[in-house]
Chains A and B, each alone.
Chain A
Amino acid sequence: MALLQATGITKRFGGIVALNGVAFAAEAGEVHAVLGENGAGKSTFIQILSGAIAADDGTLSLRDRPFRPANPREAERAGIAPVFQELSLVPDLSVAENIWFRRERRTWLRTIDRRDLLRRTARLLGELGLTRIAPDRVVRHLSVAERQMVEIAKALAADPDILILDEATSALPPQEVDWLLAIARRRADAGKLVLYISHRLAEVRRVADRVTVLRNGETVGTRSTSSLSDDEIVTMMLGRRLDRLYPERSTTRTERIALQVVGLTVGHRLQGVDLSLHEGEILGVAGLQGHGQRELFLALFGAARSRGRISVWGRDVAIRDPHHALSSGIGMALLPEDRRLQGLLLSKSVRENLILAILPRISRHGLLDLKREGTLVAEAVRRLQVKVSSPEQLAGTLSGGNQQKVVLAKLLATQAKILLFYDPTRGVDVGTKAEIFVLMRDLAAQGYAILFYSTDLPELTHLADRVAVLSYGRVAAVLEGDAIDEEAILHATLGERQAAA
């Protein structure tokens, strides 16, 4: 009998049916992938399993007993540990406090035994090979990738029967992805169940024994991974064939330089970078986590203090802050890494999010021109094919891919011509990815200049006209044309200096 079984699970949010009679079964000792497009219902399903929300209808059973967790604590007690896409770490608590939250050993005074807490954390992080994360660091001060790893450690601390990894690799650099896949495999081999939710087919293929595909809130089917080709999986997810993930290779690069950077330095992370980005070009940026790409993007957007020369369309500029970067004088916009935090106001409607960046353009004498606003919002929603019930839908209720589209629409509405894309496909499904790639190529063809960082190397090799590889805060190589391949990029990231910039 299956360890975990679901039948007829249904969940509505207002008028939207998120899950419509989902059936699911998974055994102990397997890595079971759950796949589906944006809005297919994966996240909703996982949240029901982990007690974050309750199903409207249907039955769950765990070890052949009915299971209906009312809150995350009950699910945890039943042996389910989720690693949420939405990070569940408390920012003001330390790594140790977060990992053992409510599982701390206590002294005879009923106080939390701090020494035991730190000792156990150090041991756990050691076992997981995460010694570079200090147990007493406050989570607020960790990078997104480090937080994700702590989140994983937290889930593993309970030694759960069912580990749920929801897009857990989207925040991780490649070497940590390998680390996580190995952990998933090890747990399955030890007779535990791992539910693996990811948009990255390559990872699913490497680690999952079986896949269950959801589409529009319904189960399409469960198959063994080895029996399916990538194309078959994508077809199951989309309900149709996706012709291709990446757009036709073409370059629209002109001789005109949109953005030139000389000797850009930020703290000790970015040490004198020279780059030039042309009109109509997609310039890829590659590099291992912490090698300066984040600082590069922040500095260009005026969000980090930097030294060095930046010129835009041939004119030297000193970018004071993001507002200045977005202004018509410079016209540079950033698509940030963590869209939930920096890119979107989740509690505001899609319309409000869209107009925020362009208030001056749609107001007259300090008042909003509602007609103009309506036109611009409708145009933006249509242009990017955002799936919304109405522009008044709250951004927080959209699926990951649709949220990313809203962020993109917001950027394009600013009329910036230089676009800084920092990992734009993080946590985005295949269908939306393909749309974003086509859009990027379109934008380049329209004369936009795009600086494009991705943690996914195939994206860089397929899309970028040139790829600048950062290593230890410097440009280790600039690859062009046929020289762009994953192996060359990896070589350069390891600090083997090749062609000069």
Chain B
Amino acid sequence: MAGIGPLLAPAAILLLLLAVLASLRRGVLTLDELNTDTAAAMTLILVATGETIVILRGGIDLSVGGMLSLATAIAATRGAAGPFEMAGWAALILAVGGGVGMLNGALISTLELQPFLVTLATWSIVGGTALIVLPSEGGAVPGWWVDAGAGTLFGLSLAVWSLAALLLWWAWFRRTRVALSIRAAGSNERSAFLSGVALGRSNVAAYGLSGLFAALGGLFLTSQTGSGSPTVGNDFVLPAVAAVVIGGTVLSGGRGGLVGSALGAFILTIIGNVVFVLHISSYWQPVVAGLILVLSVLATSLSDLAMARRDAAL
């Protein structure tokens, strides 16, 4: 039952960036802009969705990088597939994503290993597999797949519809018992255990969802680029964590949610646009992103501090 408090900072930053953008260039507050920006942010949003769930559980998932790459690599070797065959491959890709994720969760719980190390290892394994499937950038997904990715329905792009569906799913998911168990276990494992949470199962669920969403992100990405890349996912790992943190989710677990992470992903995406419109070197983009990350962490800890002051817990 998190209030909207933690969302204020990322929402304000996003509005500020949009305001800067709107003052420099026309057409910012249009449907077209919404369609393009969402398409640009959607892959990151999907990866960040899984990352949010894992971080709520008190963990971290680096393997999403490998999984995203593998998803694009498999899809890009299926250029001739018809819709039914492609649906089968998509299902396989999602199953692999979910499966690898569940394996992550199982390893972490049963062997009591650090999430960082386990997912670092699976990142490498899955990323390597992607290179075996597709040794270099390229390949092709079916043409109709790309058309769907560029198409619109009632003036809104596939990305916007996907985002709407994702938010709807989240509105449902966060109220489920699974989500509550994940949040509880991330907040304090010991007390969650004493309250009856099956810690292992909540890990399997969280990492499984994370793998699934990374694979989904890969599928979405191929609908935009039309091709695959065995290394593209690596560029999404840390930005996904950054998006989650900028969105106000606490790295130690238990507190936060998808809406903030989506805002964070939009912020990271739009910084690129702002830097572009300002006609400064694009190398400034990571600098600005880093500054915003620091500001967000500061905002979260300041509001925590204010709370702590108020409660003055001895």
Across the interface, do A295 and B254 meet the contact criterion of CB distance under 8 Å?
no
The answer to whether the Cβ of A356 comes within 8 Å of any Cβ in the partner chain is no
Closest to B311 in A: A141
The answer to whether the Cβ of A456 comes within 8 Å of any Cβ in the partner chain is no
Which A residues lie within 8 Å of B183 (CB)?
Answer: 90, 92-93
The answer to whether the Cβ of A231 comes within 8 Å of any Cβ in the partner chain is no
A72 to B190: give the CA distance in the assembly, Å.
12
Report the interface size for chain B: residues with CB under 8 A from the other chain: 30
| 8 Å CB interface, B265-314 against A | 307, 309-314
The answer to whether the Cβ of A143 comes within 8 Å of any Cβ in the partner chain is yes
Across the interface, do A143 and B309 meet the contact criterion of CB distance under 8 Å?
no
Across the interface, do A112 and B196 meet the contact criterion of CB distance under 8 Å?
no
Query: Total A-B residue pairs with C-beta atoms closer than 8 Å?
Result: 103
| 8 Å CB interface, B190-207 against A | 190-198
Which B residues lie within 8 Å of A304 (CB)?
Answer: 309, 312
A297 to B313: give the CA distance in the assembly, Å.
11
The residue that B191 contacts in the complex, of A90, A111, A267, A336, with Cβ under 8 A, is A90
| One of A98-106, A183-191, A278-286, A469-477 contacting the partner | A98-106
Closest to A304 in B: B312
Across the interface, do B195 and A72 meet the contact criterion of CB distance under 8 Å?
yes
Which A residues lie within 8 Å of B307 (CB)?
Answer: 140-141
A257 to B197: give the CA distance in the assembly, Å.
54
| 8 Å CB interface, A276-314 against B | 294-295, 297-298, 303-305
A303 to B312: give the CA distance in the assembly, Å.
9
| One of A80-88, A361-369, A410-418, A433-441 contacting the partner | A80-88
The answer to whether the Cβ of A209 comes within 8 Å of any Cβ in the partner chain is no
| 8 Å CB interface, A26-53 against B | 52
Across the interface, do B312 and A294 meet the contact criterion of CB distance under 8 Å?
yes
The residue that B195 contacts in the complex, of A94, A98, A337, with Cβ under 8 A, is A98
Across the interface, do B254 and A110 meet the contact criterion of CB distance under 8 Å?
no
The answer to whether the Cβ of A258 comes within 8 Å of any Cβ in the partner chain is no
Which A residues lie within 8 Å of B314 (CB)?
Answer: 144, 294, 297-298, 303, 336-338, 342, 422
Report the interface size for chain A: residues with CB under 8 A from the other chain: 47
Which A residues lie within 8 Å of B25 (CB)?
Answer: none
The residue that A111 contacts in the complex, of B175, B181, B198, with Cβ under 8 A, is B175
A363 to B311: give the CA distance in the assembly, Å.
37
Give min CB distance, B1 to chain A, whole Å.
Answer: 5
Give min CB distance, B252 to chain A, whole Å.
Answer: 10
Across the interface, do A90 and B184 meet the contact criterion of CB distance under 8 Å?
yes
Closest to A338 in B: B314
A269 to B314: give the CA distance in the assembly, Å.
14
A338 to B176: give the CA distance in the assembly, Å.
33
The answer to whether the Cβ of A91 comes within 8 Å of any Cβ in the partner chain is yes
| 8 Å CB interface, A371-388 against B | none
A104 to B177: give the CA distance in the assembly, Å.
8
Which A residues lie within 8 Å of B114 (CB)?
Answer: none
Which B residues lie within 8 Å of A72 (CB)?
Answer: 193-196
The residue that B312 contacts in the complex, of A88, A102, A110, A298, with Cβ under 8 A, is A298
Give min CB distance, B311 to chain A, whole Å.
Answer: 5
Across the interface, do A86 and B190 meet the contact criterion of CB distance under 8 Å?
yes
Which A residues lie within 8 Å of B255 (CB)?
Answer: 92
Q: With A111-B175, A112-B180, A297-B314 as known contacts, state yes or no: A102 contacts B196, CB within 8 Å.
A: yes
Which B residues lie within 8 Å of A167 (CB)?
Answer: none
Closest to A73 in B: B196
Across the interface, do A90 and B177 meet the contact criterion of CB distance under 8 Å?
no
Give min CB distance, B18 to chain A, whole Å.
Answer: 31
Give min CB distance, A425 to chain B, whole Å.
Answer: 16
The answer to whether the Cβ of A89 comes within 8 Å of any Cβ in the partner chain is yes
The residue that A305 contacts in the complex, of B181, B187, B309, with Cβ under 8 A, is B309
The answer to whether the Cβ of A76 comes within 8 Å of any Cβ in the partner chain is yes
Which A residues lie within 8 Å of B176 (CB)?
Answer: 110-112
Identify 22 residue pairs between A and B in the complex whose beta-carbon atoms are under 8 Å apart, listed by A's number. Answer: A52-B194, A71-B193, A72-B195, A73-B196, A73-B198, A86-B194, A89-B191, A90-B184, A90-B188, A90-B195, A90-B254, A91-B191, A91-B254, A92-B186, A93-B184, A102-B197, A104-B177, A106-B177, A112-B175, A141-B307, A267-B312, A336-B314
Given contacts A90-B188, A91-B187, A101-B196, 14 further A-B contacts (CB under 8 A): A52-B194, A92-B184, A92-B187, A93-B1, A102-B177, A104-B180, A111-B172, A136-B1, A138-B1, A143-B313, A303-B314, A304-B309, A305-B309, A338-B314
Nearest first, the 10 closest Cβ-Cβ pairs linking A and B are A111-B175, A88-B194, A92-B254, A92-B187, A73-B196, A90-B184, A88-B191, A101-B195, A294-B314, A90-B187
